[in-house]
A and B are shown apart, each in its own frame.
With several copies, the nearest count.
Chain A
Amino acid sequence: MDLGIEIAGIKMKNPVMSASGCFGYGEEYSAFYNLEEMGALVVKGTTLEPREGNLPPRIAETPAGILNAVGLQNPGIDYVIKKELPALKGAGTPVIINIAGNLEEEYLELAKILDPLEEVQGLEVNISCPNVKQGGMAFGTDEKAAGSLVKAIRSVTSKPLIVKLSPNVTDIRGMALAVEKEGADAISLVNTFLGMAIDIHRKKPVLGNLVGGLSGPAIKPLSLRMVWQVSQEVKVPVIGMGGIMTAEDALEFIMAGARAVAVGTANFVNPYSIPEIVKGIRKFMEEHDYEDLSPLVGAAWKGV
């Protein structure tokens, strides 16, 4: 039996990746298990310059979900290349860098800098962060803007290009088709849903940034629906995420059409989430006599 898959030329030994921003640069969770057990490691959203991030509080819990407004705090690409990536060289799992910016030029610069690096197996283009005032989100909600950004990035890198979409749109299929057309090798669905919480005693929003992105089990029905819709439209592989806590959840996404899945919030609740999900998928495949994952991908709409 083989859990291996390939996304845009990136070979993974199983379909379970970390979701960007929920796994740091891998160091913290490597204290719990060997990162070789992961399908791929997607690091924190990285920008050209260091970002200090948003005012605290940055986290607010909601029923079965969390709002976050970290605001892309990161040490900037130079530091990441110098200090974080070397440590990941021997990690034994493909490393994907999530890149973000305000302006097209920033994305292009990032892509150019990362293009020659052997230790980077792919780029995930974050055009969907709801926690950054300027830019980012505009690319994520406008088909034309998204398409032309992807086209530009495509022209400066030969690395596999995964485009991560925002769920805060009327027509997720349109967004997916737009970025596929301009050269996305894969599509990540989804980033967080824009939400908020209010502290009724202070009569103010709870988060320092006022609004934040909702993740966790609460959003699973919504992200699953988007994976279902998009994977029936596009030819490139879809990476599903949003509320995956268990192997059963991951299998729902795979049957909805995702070739791989990413796990974010679940890591905070159970640091062993990723290896346990891998194990659970393997068990399901064993029990149901699947030799490999492909017949499961999209099974819920292929009517297999």
Chain B
Amino acid sequence: MAMLRKAQIIKHDREGPGIYRMDFFSPEVSSRVIPGQFIHLKIREEGYHPLLRRPFSIYDVDNERGLFSILYRVVGLGTRIMAKRQPGELMEIMGPLGAPFTLPEEKGKIILVAGGMGFAPLHFLIKKLLKRNMEAEIILGARKAEELMGENDLVQLGVNFILATEDGSRGFQGQATDLLDKKLREGNYDYLYSCGPYPMLKKVASLALSRGIKGEVSLEEIMACGVGACLGCAYPAKGDKGDLTYKKVCQHGPTFSLEEVSFHNGPGD
């Protein structure tokens, strides 16, 4: 369960413009965490601004060395402060938290769709899928070339990937969902995973559902507690009886099945 501990930053590298990878030493986290889960990071030890913790998906785990990693983009105060932390320093970590991705029980063809930083949790997932000898392909989408995440990782893992940029600066010109549409028409996929911005996920879900493909998405919502106590991270989803209700991204999610989540009155609408 949600434990609290200090973990040492082992490595902190710039991976691109405003993008960093942070590796922590924490055998307790790395040995237990499952793809799709996240940690809730305390930004500052002293002072109350920023006040809340910040959630980050687990991007990678190195069980042998007891490490886990996050990949993050600097977007505001909290991540700006994080970017200045140095290897050797400690940060307070809560987690692993949240409901992980479920892995398909039978072998099958899997397609993943990552929008920008949405690649982070999918990377850890792909590694697990490969370990189980699953066949996986991934579509990476972004607005422009420098926002594409994951190419190097995927080359290293030997996973097939295709790129889409909205401005056409790399790969296919257009949205990741245009590529997905094409792919779904061409191939037979059994399961889909996706993480990225809300409008993309919405399209991904409707494309997959219209073809009867099952799958899961990882959602983001502003969080306060991270453990299910505050109801701050509510997201509309179908309840047990199919009725629309609010589920907690931190506890029921961040992963939701395509059937469960409702994109009908989400924040981008």
Q: Is A in direct contact with B (CB under 8 Å) within the complex?
A: yes
Give chain B nearest CB distance to A155 CB in angstroms: 32
Q: Is A70 an interface residue (CB 8 A)?
A: yes
B239 to chain A, nearest CB (A): 10
Q: In the complex, what residue of chain B is closest to A30 when comparing beta carbons?
A: B1
- Flag whether A229 is at the interface (Cβ < 8 A): no
Interface residues of A in 217-275 (CB under 8 A from B): 217-218, 245, 265, 267-272
User: What are the residues of chain B within 8 A of A52 when measuring CB–CB?
Assistant: 245-246
B225 within 8 A of A: yes
For A21, list chain B residues within 8 Å (CB): 230-231
Which of B4, B48, B226, B229 is in CB contact (< 8 Å) with A216?
B48
The answer to whether B225 and A268 have CB atoms under 8 Å apart is yes
**A64–B48 CB distance below 8 A:** yes
A55 CA to B246 CA, complexed, in Å: 9
- Contacting residues, chain A, for B223 (C-beta < 8 A): 59
Closest to A68 in B: B232
Contacts A52-B245, A56-B221, A217-B51 given; indicate if A269 touches B42 (C-beta within 8 A): yes
Interface size (A, Cβ < 8 Å)? 38
Known contacts A59-B233, A265-B51; is A28 also within 8 Å of B225 by CB?
yes
B228 lies within 8 A of chain A by Cβ: yes
Q: In whole angstroms, how far apart are the Cα atoms of A53 and B3 in the complex?
A: 29
Among A28, A53, A55, A218, point to the contact of B229 (Cβ < 8 A). Answer: A28
Task: Count CB-based A-B contacts (< 8 Å).
Answer: 112
Known contacts: A28-B225, A32-B4. The answer to whether A59 contacts B232 by CB under 8 A is: yes
- Contacting pair B94 A56 (CB below 8 A): no
Is B229 a contact of A23 with CB atoms below 8 Å?
A: yes
**Contact between A66 and B224 (Cβ–Cβ < 8 Å)?**
yes
Q: How far is the CB of B222 from chain A (nearest CB, A)?
A: 5
Check if B235 is an interface residue, CB within 8 A of chain A.
Answer: yes
Contact of B231 among A32, A53, A63, A270 (CB under 8 A): A53
Which of B1, B228, B246 has most A Cβ within 10 Å? B246
CB distance from B182 to the nearest CB of A (A): 32
User: Measured between C-beta atoms, what is the minimum distance from A303 to chain B in Å?
Assistant: 15
Given contacts A57-B221, A61-B50, whether A271 and B231 have CB atoms under 8 Å apart is: no
A31 contacts chain B at the CB level, 8 A cutoff: yes
Q: With A32-B2, A56-B266, A66-B224 in contact, do A73 and B49 touch (Cβ < 8 Å)? A: no
Q: Which residues of chain A come closer than 8 Å to B51, judged between CB atoms?
A: 61, 64-66, 216-217, 265, 269
Neighbouring A residues of B225 by C-beta, 8 Å? 22, 28, 267-268, 271
Q: How far is the CA of A22 from the CA of B265 in the complex (A)?
A: 25
Cα–Cα, bound, A265→B53 (Å):
12
Give per-residue flags for A46-64: 1 if the beta carbon is below 8 A from chain B beta carbons, else 0. 0000001101111111011
Residues of chain A within 8 A (CB-CB) of B224 are: 59, 66, 68, 265, 268
Report the minimal beta-carbon distance from A31 to chain B, rounded to whole angstroms. Answer: 4
CA distance in complex: A265, B230 (Å):
9
Are B222 and A59 touching (Cβ within 8 A)?
yes
Interface pairs (18), CB distance under 8 Å = A21-B230, A24-B231, A28-B2, A29-B229, A32-B4, A56-B233, A56-B236, A57-B267, A58-B233, A59-B223, A61-B222, A66-B51, A70-B232, A73-B234, A216-B51, A245-B48, A267-B225, A268-B226
Residues of B within 8 A of A (CB): 1-4, 42, 47-53, 94, 221-236, 245-246, 265-267
Q: Which 3 A-B pairs have the closest CB atoms?
A: A24-B229, A59-B232, A64-B48
Q: A29-B229, A58-B232, A65-B51 are in contact. List 13 more A-B contacts (CB 8 A).
A: A53-B246, A56-B233, A56-B266, A58-B231, A59-B224, A59-B230, A59-B233, A60-B222, A61-B51, A61-B52, A245-B48, A269-B52, A271-B4
